[in-house]
Amino acid sequence: MIKGITTIRHVAGSKEFKALSKLFDAMGFERGTPWKTARGQGAPFKVPLGQIEFVEGLETLHADIWIEVTDLDSISGVLAKENVKGAEKIQATAWDSRFLVAEPAKGSKILFWQKNRPAEDAIEGDLNARGMRFGIIVSRWNSFITERLLQGALDALRRSGCSKEDITVVRVPGAFEIPSQARTLAESGKYDAIVTLGCLIRGETTHYEHISTEVTRGIGQSAQETGVPHTYGVLTCENLEQALDRAGLKAGNKGFEAATSAIEMVNLQRKTQNRAKTKAMSKKKKSKGR
Ligand code: DLZ
């Protein structure tokens, strides 16, 4: 029955409205549908998860908008870059988290908080690509976009220490042809990971759903069946504007992200495979000793 929750803040004036909207854009919030009438305007911003919480007792709440984030230091950086006045220093809570309070517009205090990393030793891949070999498959359809994705991917790999000679770029006609080449490169045994880059625009293809489903399935299947990490930098967009945003403008560069994920996956796979090997060896030793 319950569908969602919207916390509405009435801001002091259009200056504050603009300042808050600009800041929330800079922090990467997804915009909802804005509205404007003769009596005012609204700018909704969406969050992946929301809740309403009632609090009783002596706890100091600092602000009535609380935003949980995954990287508080980056938020602090955005606040500094956007010149937000009244952004306080990061503080520790008594409940294993950190927070900071900012007042981006008069009367609108926002508390940003992040849970401290759990103490368990999660296995994660780091972002050092030295000595790794990557195959990048990029489709030529919408090359205006895909070449930007390629530049983003190359930038990520080179900045992370991968040498030029260890990167092979293969161009295919359209997104539909990406999976077969991904599998060919993966099966060659020459690459630690495969980065796939393409751009499907709904307006340009009546069979958009079919192609995008097939491309996604094919890339996933190649990854699972070859055991070589594949990352997905194929844009599936409604229009050119969305594609441009994801290829280096507002929403970052998905080619850069796909390459970064590939580096992380290679490092992660090496770690988990080593752990699995070590476990198997100690099991063998134990059973021999019996
Ligand atoms: C045919 C087609 C269309 C209409 N649109 C796109 C697109 O938006 N993005 C893309 O990468 N490829 C498109 N293609 C081409 C197909 O992916 C494929 O290359 C051709 O159908 C040839 O098999």
pLDDT digits (tens, 9 = 90+) for 214-248: 999 999 999 999 999 999 999 999 999 999 989 98
Q: What is the CATH number of the domain that holds 27?
A: 3.10.180.10
Q: What is the CATH number of the domain that holds 192?
A: 3.40.50.960
Look up residue 83 and give its two tokens. 């010149």
Let me know whether 105 and 234 are in one domain.
no
Let me know whether 78 and 144 are in one domain.
no
The model's pTM is: 0.62
From the candidates 62, 207, 210, 230, give the one annotated as an active-site residue: 207
In the prediction, which pLDDT does 196 show?
98
Report the atom number in ligand 1 closest to the C-alpha of 176. Answer: 17
In the prediction, which pLDDT does 14 show?
92
- Give the integer Cα–Cα distance in Å for 128 and 216: 27
Ligand 1 in reach of 20 Cβ (< 6 A): no
- Residues 113-123, mean pLDDT to the nearest whole number: 74
Let me know whether 103 and 177 are in one domain.
no
Ligand 1 in reach of 146 Cβ (< 6 A): no
Report if residue 75 sits inside a domain: yes
In the prediction, which pLDDT does 251 show?
61
Backbone phi, psi, residue 35, to 5°: -140, 155
The residue range of the domain holding 195 is 134-272
In the prediction, which pLDDT does 162 show?
93
Find which of 70-79, 192-201, 279-288 is predicted with most confidence, using mean pLDDT: 192-201
In the prediction, which pLDDT does 253 show?
92
Quote the radius of gyration of the chain (alpha carbons, Å).
24
Let me know whether 96 and 198 are in one domain.
no
Q: Which of 138, 139, 140, 141 to mutate to test the pocket of ligand 1 (most atoms within 8 A of CB)?
A: 141
Sheet bearing 65-68, strands edge to edge: 65-68, 108-115, 97-105, 91-92
Domain boundary among 87, 115, 143: 115
Report if residue 78 sits inside a domain: yes
Report if residue 191 sits inside a domain: yes
Let me know whether 100 and 138 are in one domain.
no
Ligand 1 in reach of 237 Cβ (< 6 A): no
Residue of 221, 167, 216 lying closest to 192 (CA atoms): 167
Let me know whether 167 and 226 are in one domain.
yes
Report the atom number in ligand 1 closest to the C-alpha of 173. Answer: 19
Q: Give the model confidence (pLDDT) of 8-39 as tens digits.
A: 889 989 999 999 999 998 887 878 889 999 99
- Residues 147-176, mean pLDDT to the nearest whole number: 95
Q: What's the gap in Å between 199 CA and the centre of ligand 1?
A: 9
Let me know whether 67 and 147 are in one domain.
no
Let me know whether 109 and 142 are in one domain.
no
- Give the integer Cα–Cα distance in Å for 92 and 114: 10
Judged on CB neighbours under 10 Å (0-12, 13-18, 19+), 85 is exposed
Let me know whether 176 and 256 are in one domain.
yes
Report if residue 142 sits inside a domain: yes
Question: Residue 41 forms beta bridges with which residues?
Answer: 36
Report if residue 9 sits inside a domain: no
Ligand 1 in reach of 104 Cβ (< 6 A): no
Ligand 1 in reach of 43 Cβ (< 6 A): no
Q: What's the gap in Å between 81 CA and the centre of ligand 1?
A: 40
pLDDT band, residue 203 (cuts 50/70/90): confident
21, amino acid identity: S
Let me know whether 92 and 195 are in one domain.
no
Backbone phi, psi, residue 50, to 5°: -140, 160
Is 90 exceeded by the pLDDT of residue 256? yes
Report if residue 124 sits inside a domain: no
- Between strands 45-46 and 108-115, the pairing is unpaired
Domains in the chain: how many in total? 2
Asked if 251 and 245 count as a contact pair (C-beta separation under 8 A), the reply is yes
Report the atom number in ligand 1 closest to the C-alpha of 234. Answer: 11
Q: Which of 146, 176, 232 to mutate to test the pocket of ligand 1 (most atoms within 8 A of CB)?
A: 176
Let me know whether 80 and 176 are in one domain.
no
Ligand 1 in reach of 140 Cβ (< 6 A): no
Confirm whether 207 is a catalytic residue.
yes
Report the atom number in ligand 1 closest to the C-alpha of 172. Answer: 19
Report if residue 7 sits inside a domain: no
Report if residue 261 sits inside a domain: yes
The continuous run of DSSP H or E covering 112 comes out as strand 108-115
236: Cβ–Cβ under 8 A, 6 or more apart, which residues? 200, 202, 208, 212
Let me know whether 263 and 145 are in one domain.
yes
89: Cβ–Cβ under 8 A, 6 or more apart, which residues? 100
